[in-house]
Structure 1
Amino acid sequence: MRSEWEVQMSKIIRPKLMFLDQHLKELNILIQNDNSNPIMRLLCDNPGFLLASLPTNSHIQSSALWSCREKVSLLHLTHMVELSDGKDNLPVLWRFLNREAELRLVRHLPDILTLQKELVKKFQNLSEITDLKNGLKVFLQNSSLKAWYEKHINIFLTTWNQLRTSLATKSEIKLPDEFCQKDLDTYSDLKVLFPQRQGPGLCSTALVSYLIALHNDMVYCVDKHMGEETSYKVSPADLTDLHVIHYELERDIMSMILSNSQYSIEWGQETLHEYDLPKIQMQIISRVLLGKPLIYLNGIPTLVNRHERNYQIILKDVREKVKQETLPALTALDLARDLHNYSEACEALSTLELVLGFLAMAGGDPHMQLSSYLEEVLQMGSQISEHILKVLSLFSLKHCVVLWQLLTSDNMLMLKKDPFERVCEVYKKDLGEDVREQLTAFCFESSTDTFLLELHEFLVLELQNPKAPDDFKPEWSLKDSLEAYMMRKDLDFLPDLEKHFPSEICLCHCVETWKFINAIKQERSRRQIG
């Protein structure tokens, strides 16, 4: 109903406004010719009769001083395009002028993407992004690359502040109202810079998405006008300044408009501007818009908390596409020795998780070295430290899953942090003295390496879910539950577990069971090294 009403009203109003400027011009001439009006004589005629006390050669005697002349500007040009029915006759110029205030910001897109990539690289190893409480100012003060970050963060803040109103109403990504209500500055939350799918980081993702949409909209508009289809497309990961719409308003656009405009001046008349609108449109197309690629939305940097990734599905897909094997005990010890600190362990884990994502989709040769896969298949050798590549060269693709199990369990221990912080409390019941004695006997009678890895994976992937108690009752047998979990992965149940593990231990004790057995294992390893 509303759209029909707007169409009908447009048919009535549009003809009345079509020649409004001509009618206003004729009316102005009538008013100017009214010699009885002293104001009009001052503005349009010789004002000397009212200013006889001033020298005759004074600039104040000129009527030009007393009148307001229309300047060449984007606003005036836009008005002229509207009068020329530009939406239909000059579609590219019409759209460019209507969106110019936002289009000029598209040139910042490569810098913002570079900032996002750097932040993802810097913070992807952080186990919990929500732990960050610092503002932008503190981050800049503590950064070793202060000048670089300051430049790119200022670009982000300036672009956001100019577009936040549009993002609140036009963005395809729905932003909470409170995110768009005020400008961002260096006292704002650091997390607004992180490209994420929820929380404050949604601001960063929405901004990049909106800039890409602005760019693509103009490319589609040019394609439609030229009767062509752009086959050149580029990913955000490969975007450079040459790919995006990039211009300086005064240097590129205003000079173009001035070179294609003429004006005439008559005594007592307003300055008349005439624009060669078709030529301006063609020059904007050829000098600013033509040859620009479409930008994929897929590939925007995203910072994901490790606990938000669904590794249950990823590991399942990897096992189906790349046959997996366990690691010899000595190789696992070599890994612990070669990763000297928490930072190196995190980098190794982050690199491995990237590999797992590709293997889950495309598979690979089980016998291919991890380092070779990174360098030859993924072409990422230059992006990974030489030491990490050397450590990963000890393993093949067939070891990826067990390597992930090792790194995820060891990392939190190296940080001296509870690896099961997110596991439901019902699974953290303390062990009784008799149970500890039974587990100690189990440890001395069995190899616990694989058991610890499988139990850790079970805890992290299954029991961290808030609804886990509905699917895994705390009173169920730990031994039977782990056996069922391994069977779902088509893995053989561990003979030592079947034979020696106490059947009376329930799921409610599983966290403390893992910690107790792991402590015994660590103590045993220290004695062997000593």
Structure 2
Amino acid sequence: MMINKIMILCTIWCTSGTPVVKDSLEPHMWGYRPRITLEHLVRYMQQQKKKFPILEEFLKNETVLQATQYIPDIVRLQKLLFDEMHHRIDRKMAHKMSMRDFIVRHRTENLLNEYQKMVASVQRAWLLVRDKLKDHGQLKVEEEYLKEDLGLTTALEFFIPTTTGPGACTFSLVHYLSYIHNNFIDWCRAKSKTSAWHEHKIQLAHTHKCHLLDYQSQLTSILLSHCHYSLRLGQGREVSYDLPALEKYILDRFIHGKPTILVDIPHVSYQEDIYTAAKFAAVRKKVAPQSALQQRVQQDILRELGSPDKLRRSLDVVEIVLGFLTSGGGKPKTTLRSYLRKLKMEKRSFSKKAKEHCNLEHILSLWQTLSGVVQSHDIICPLHMHGGFLSYIRRHDHMTAAF
């Protein structure tokens, strides 16, 4: 009798490794114990009359929310690739070289390990959400690229962030993950109606795990601590959850106070894409006529930007705009400000003077103004010499010509 009692207790409380008694001579020991999983929790909630909106929204989006924890690693990888590849690599090289070929060039063990960790994060996030990228946002990832399993043997071009081609995979991946995070945080803040939860934002480049929903490693223990086993005569075991406490714990521990992300993804331009006559001819044809910026406006824009980093970020925006105009065209009198808003790029780091004075008819002249300084400065001055850059702009003022 004592042995049977011990076996009953073990069947109820022990881990899933406890064998279920199947002996037909002991039918009182027959039983089924459901595993405590997210799927079991979802089924349990469907049977309840009372609703728990934040918990339900969390469970509905859990798969994609799980992928947001990889944002910092992916952004870090994009930043390193941008710094090394922007204006410096051609498509053939990026297509021919694998990610493994690229990272073995970094001889130190620390850098090798860091790159491998970042690539692993891309791979995990990609497997979780790639099916959702086909129809997301301004960038459409082509079907053939979605079938690619991103890893160390994948071509480098898939990891280099671009707005078209294979590089749109990681570009769109970061954009989608940031979108999911922001939507979920905004929705929960509105539902919680907590006055102590003040909205705040953080730049994508400064995002760390502490800013995101990093819950995965603790999820099983959280579910176990909020579930209850009970025995009822003639009904066997029942598993229930303390849903109010579980919702409050998830909200307080993982969601409350999280910032939304200001999305500003670096965009690499290949060597052959920057200075192609065909590209400029397409823009001249589809956004006609093109006009030159006044020299005073060009000088004001350069002085406003004032540093190599700010100038490059503005040039990146102009090159993205050129890409869209090459394929879709536009009206020359459309303001650059309204066109950026249409592309959902109004929050990107960009020259306020250019937004104020430029229409699409000035886009080629603006590109020449910015790219001319970037190219000349990269040749003449070390990147870290901020004072040298300002001096160069002053020397460049009298050389700024009409396009």
TM-score interval, normalised by the smaller of the two chains = 0.5 to 0.7
| Per-residue CA distance 1:263-311 (angstroms, 9 max, x = gap) | 21246533211212122111110001000011123x1222133644899
Q: Which residue, 113, 117, 122 being the options, matches 2:79?
A: 117
**How far apart, CA to CA, are the structure 2 residues paired with 1:304 and 1:111?**
22
Residue 171 of structure 1, CA deviation: 6.1
**CA distance, structure 1, for counterparts of residue 89 and residue 292 of structure 2:** 19
Q: In the TM superposition, what is the alpha-carbon distance from 1:75 to its structure 2 partner? A: 0.8
Shift of 1:193: 0.8
Letter aligned with residue 109 of structure 1? I
Matched, 1:197 2:178: no
Deviations 1:370-404 (A, max 9, x none): xxxxxxxxxxxxxxx9685189268342324678x
**Paired amino acid for 1:107:** Q
Percent of aligned pairs sharing the same letter: 22
- Higher relative contact order, structure no. (Cα contacts within 8 Å, ≥ 6 residues apart): 2
Distance in 1, Cα, partners of 2:308 & 2:89: 11
- RMSD between aligned residues: 3.8
Higher Cα Rg: structure 1 or 2? Answer: 1
Structure 1 position 186, deviation (Å): 2.0
Tell me, in whole angstroms, the C-alpha distance in 2 between the residues paired with 1:354 and 1:317.
Answer: 21
Q: Distance in 1 between matches of 2:301 and 2:255?
A: 51
Q: Which residue does 1:499 correspond to in 2?
A: none
TM (norm. structure 1) is 0.50
How far off is 1:92 after superposition? Answer: 0.8
Letter in 2 for 1:354: R
Confirm whether residue 231 of structure 1 aligns to residue 199 of structure 2.
yes
Question: 1:301 is matched with which residue: 266, 290, 315?
Answer: 266
Are residue 141 (structure 1) and residue 104 (structure 2) matched?
yes
Change beyond 3 A, Cα 1:171–1:92: farther
Matches within 5 A, 1:446-461: none
SS at match of 2:73: helix
Q: Is it true that 1:79 corresponds to 2:56 in the alignment?
A: no
* Structure 1 letter corresponding to 2:267: T
* Deviation by residue 1:41-97 (Cα, 9 ceiling, x = unmatched): xxx9x987x54xxxxxxxxx4644x432212221111112222256xx211100111
Asked whether the equivalents of residues 178 and 261 of structure 2 are also in contact (C-alpha less than 8 Å), the reply is yes
Which residue does the alignment assign to 1:519?
none
* Post-superposition CA distance 1:420-457 (Å, at most 9, x none): xxxxxxxxxxxxxxxxxxxxxxxxxxxxxxxxxxxxxx
Long gaps (5+) in structure 1: 1-43, 52-60, 326-348, 364-384, 406-485, 490-530
Residue 98 of structure 1 is matched in structure 2 by 60
Q: Tell me which of 379, 387, 398 is aligned to 2:394.
A: 398
Change in 2 beyond 3 A, CA 1:390/1:230: closer
Q: Is the 8 A contact 1:92 1:281 kept in 2?
A: yes
Whether 1:320 aligns to 2:297 is yes
How has the CA–CA distance of structure 1 residues 389 and 318 changed in structure 2, closer, same or farther, with 3 Å as cutoff? Answer: farther
Counterpart contact for 1:63–1:268, Cα < 8 Å: no
Conserved? CA contact 1:315–1:401, under 8 Å: no
* SS of residue paired to 2:104: helix
Residue 524 of structure 1 corresponds to none
Q: Which residue of 1 aligns with 2:225?
A: 259
Deviation at 1:112, TM superposition (A): 0.8
1:354 aligns with 2:312: yes
Tell me which amino acid in the other structure corresponds to 2:297: E
Distance 1:324 1:93 in 2: 49
Residues in 1 aligned to 2:314 and 2:396: alpha-carbon distance in whole angstroms: 7
2:385 counterpart SS class: helix
Give the CA deviation at 1:238: 2.1
In the alignment, which of 70, 82, 85 is matched to residue 108 of structure 1? 70
Q: What secondary structure, in the 3-state scheme, does the structure 2 residue paired with 1:168 have?
A: coil
Tell me how far apart the structure 2 counterparts of residues 269 and 359 of structure 1 sit (CA, whole Å).
67
Deviation (angstroms), 1:259: 2.2
Deviation at 1:239, TM superposition (A): 1.5
1:489-500 matched pairs, under 5 angstroms? none
| Aligned counterparts of 1:111 and 1:287: Cα–Cα separation in 2 | 22
Q: How far 1:169 sits from its partner (Å)?
A: 5.3
Superposed displacement of residue 192, structure 1: 0.9
SS in 2 for 1:142: coil
Give me the whole-angstrom Cα distance separating, in 1, the residues matched to 2:72 and 2:54.
Answer: 24
The match for 1:157 is 123
Q: 4+ runs of 1 displaced by more than 6 Å?
A: 309-315
Give the corresponding residue for 2:209: 241
Distance 1:113 1:85, change over 3 A: farther
